[in-house]
Structure 1
Amino acid sequence: MLDGIAQQVPHLLRNTGDRDEFWSAFATLTDPPLAEAGPEDFDWVSARITEMLEACGVTPPEA
């Protein structure tokens, strides 16, 4: 699931009109795996999501 999302990030960056639209679309993709991750996997899934953003030169928003 995460590999598929990682492949979609460059497409989202090219095809969303602005930063808010990108983050909304990205959240739609990443919310399900974060919700499905158990407590023992949540940090790993979250780190993987951050890595896919960084690989595309995107800085995650501040919490």
Structure 2
Amino acid sequence: MSKLHRRNRQQLNLNRLLAKLPCLQQEFPDPADFWRAFAGLADLIVDAADPDDIDWIACQINAMLEARGLLAH
């Protein structure tokens, strides 16, 4: 599988995770519960990634969290 195809597939999974953020925040108002649920979903993406893509995925996850005000600069 080409790197572009992998990234497109990973971006689709990241977009799905981003779309779930509001629901996760509503479903898990306690921060500890939210982070546990979020980490479980994010780990699925990271665990399925090619080692060469893990840093890129981590940056994408951090950017989505920062955009939602969930990660300090």
* TM bucket, shorter chain: 0.7 to 0.9
Could you tell me the TM-score, scaled by structure 2's length? Answer: 0.74
1:29 aligned to which of 23, 41, 48:
41
**Larger helix percent:** 2
Match of 1:10 in 2: 22
Gaps of 5+ in 2: 1-12
Q: Of the two, which has the highest radius of gyration?
A: 2
Runs of 4+ in 1 over 2 A off after TM superposition: none
2:51 aligned to which of 18, 31, 39:
39
Could you tell me the TM-score, scaled by structure 1's length? Answer: 0.85
Structure with higher RCO (Cα < 8 A, 6+ apart): 1
Q: How many residues of Structure 1 are paired with residues of Structure 2 in the alignment?
A: 60
State the Cα RMSD in Å: 1.3
Gaps of 5+ in 1: none
Percent identity over the alignment is 37
